[in-house]
Amino acid sequence: MNMPLNTSADICDPTEQARYNMVEQQIRPWNVLDEAVLELLATVRREEFVPPAYQGAAFIDTQIPLNPSVEEAERLGQVMLAPRVDARMLQDLQVQSTDRVLEIGAGSGYMAALLAARAERVVSLEIVPELAEFARENLRSAGVNNAEVRQSDGALDPIPDGPFDVILLSGSVAEIPQRLLGLLRDGGRLGAFVGHTPMMRATFVRRQGDRYETTQPWDVVVPRLRHFPEPTRFKF
């Protein structure tokens, strides 16, 4: 039986109580049962990656805008994903201590920090210069030394660091980008949110030699990553 990492009665600090509630009431019930992942979500300080205007929402089950304009943040994909979504993706990618990881969409740097705690090295690409600097500063402040944030368009710019053991798209796409599959090492895993509103699927692709095995185990809706192809949804 999986038991809580702590008990609510042991916690006096309001911030730690909110963090405990996030893990036990949002994340664990969403089929995140890997105790190492739960421990990580309890120790990486999510509030340190949240813009000051949204500190009060750091542990709420919602996306957090990273742009002063909420509408622009949603339209341009400039958000922190809900904690349960980051946690489930982290669990399902099965990141190992020897893995080299590529993330597309650094945002605030929070997911890069989670990945870095489990991987050997993380390269995180962020298209918006201001967000790239925000993520870098957050990671520096958190003492994360094995994650590098680059200001780069993950859809269009060259990515010279491959192959990777894990590739994560921290935003949605219409279809799996074939050029990113080419950056996977044999045995490597790619995780992405694929589809169109109101139906998207968390999609995982594992490379096995020349074959690519795909699973889509859960539903979620998250904002788009910019500049990835948008094939027509209708055929005549």
The closest alpha carbon to 155, from 138, 172, 133, 139, belongs to 172
HEC per residue, 57-68:
HCCCCCCEECCC
- pLDDT beyond 50 at 1: no
108 or 67, which is more confident?
108
The closest alpha carbon to 94, from 153, 137, 32, belongs to 32
Tell me which H or E stretch contains 117. Answer: helix 110-118
Amino acid making up residue 21: N
- pLDDT beyond 50 at 96: yes
177 or 11, which is more confident?
177
Distance CA 105, CA 16 (A): 28
Could you report the per-residue pLDDT of 192-235, keeping only the tens digit for each? 999 999 999 999 999 999 999 999 999 999 999 999 999 876 55
Q: Which residue has the tokens 């694929």?
A: 194
**176 φ, ψ (degrees, to nearest 5):** -65, 125
**203 φ, ψ (degrees, to nearest 5):** -120, 130
Could you report the per-residue pLDDT of 44-89, keeping only the tens digit for each? 999 999 999 999 999 999 999 998 788 887 778 899 999 999 999 9
Three-state DSSP state, 205: strand
Q: What is the pLDDT of residue 9?
A: 52
- The answer to whether 206 and 188 have CB atoms below 8 angstroms apart is yes
- State how far the alpha carbon of 199 is from the alpha carbons of 26, 57, 92, 127, 206, in Å: 21, 26, 20, 25, 22
- State how far the alpha carbon of 165 is from the alpha carbons of 142, 161, 182, in Å: 24, 11, 12
Distance CA 49, CA 52 (A): 9
Of the pLDDT bands very low, low, confident and very high (cuts 50, 70, 90), residue 3 is very low
CA angle 24, 26, 32 (to 5 degrees): 75
Q: What is the pLDDT of residue 76?
A: 80
Q: What is the pLDDT of residue 79?
A: 95
Distance CA 185, CA 37 (A): 24
Three-state DSSP state, 4: coil
Distance CA 190, CA 180 (A): 8
- The answer to whether 49 and 66 have CB atoms below 8 angstroms apart is no
Residues near 104 by beta carbon (within 8 Å), at least 6 away in sequence? 125, 154, 155, 167, 168, 169, 170, 171, 180, 225
